[in-house]
Amino acid sequence: MQTLKITDYTIVQTLDAIRHPQHYTINASFAVEPPAEETEPATDSYLFYASRSLNNLSTLYTSETFSTTLTDYSNAKYDSNGGFIFSADESNTFYGFESLTASIDSNGLSYLIWNNPMQADTIEAKTSPTLSFDQIDAIAKAQIDFMSIWNSSPFDPLSIADCEYTVTSIEYGLIRISDSKHKSYSLVPAWFYMLKPDESGILYKSSYVIINAIDGSIYNPFIGTLEPTDNNQTNK
């Protein structure tokens, strides 16, 4: 980041980049022949993901908060093939989250992608009062209990056990909240309740619930807005 002279971003995740070398050949008939034998995967480079930093706080790397585009499916209908049908006069796709993605190998920087770069116009408040962690934790537990029951089948009482999730960590970072028209955004602190990584060993981080640290509202990372909930704890 120093080499690129980027000072307002922080690296939040670094992953090994695994590639599968494939050696194809061209025969006498100029047809491409696949490799004769399988090759071992190689790890000779790595990826880093960076997000904007504000007062030493940055957006956490999760599978939700690094999406490059956001789509609102709430008013969509299904077609006969199981696809989505959107109203012609309704905007349903929005700017995804701001981030930097880069690949580094033995030769240095191989590529750099700057997703949805945005300009920070004003800082409305350098510091804001936040809820106590006990208040945040009570909201999180209520939301997790609600979602566990909502995801289970009403016809199978045992299905509630199948919907149990393990929260492995609780982390503090920034969220980007969109206005009603998705034209401007605000960065505010939030608590992330992180899920246990996939049992198959896939390297990703995912959040089960994200809570606005200022007022206790539930954040929807799939469209970048706050959910209409009664969890506002500001006056409690």
Contacts of 31 (CB under 8 A, 6+ apart): none
Q: What DSSP element (H or E) covers 49?
A: strand 42-54
Asked if residue 201 and residue 110 are part of one domain, the reply reads no
How far from 166 is each of 61, 147, 169, CA to CA, in Å?
18, 13, 9
Token digits of residue 80: 């006969």
Asked if residue 163 and residue 97 are part of one domain, the reply reads no
Structural domain count of the chain? 2
Domain boundary among 115, 147, 169: 115
Entry pTM = 0.75
Asked if residue 67 and residue 103 are part of one domain, the reply reads yes
Asked if residue 179 and residue 106 are part of one domain, the reply reads no
Asked if residue 103 and residue 17 are part of one domain, the reply reads yes
Helices (H) and strands (E) in the chain, counts: 2, 16
Asked if residue 157 and residue 61 are part of one domain, the reply reads no
Domain boundary among 87, 115, 143: 115
- Domain annotation covers residue 4: no
Asked if residue 110 and residue 41 are part of one domain, the reply reads yes
Mind listing the pLDDT tens digit of every residue in the chain (236 residues)? 777 778 888 898 888 877 776 777 888 888 888 777 777 777 778 888 899 888 888 988 888 888 888 888 777 787 777 777 877 766 788 888 888 888 888 778 888 888 888 887 777 777 788 999 999 999 998 888 777 665 544 444 444 445 566 788 899 999 999 988 888 899 999 999 987 766 444 456 788 899 999 999 999 998 899 987 665 544 44
- Domain annotation covers residue 234: no
Domain boundary among 115, 150, 182: 115
Q: What is the extent of the structural domain holding 69?
A: 9-115
Asked if residue 141 and residue 101 are part of one domain, the reply reads no
Asked if residue 91 and residue 14 are part of one domain, the reply reads yes
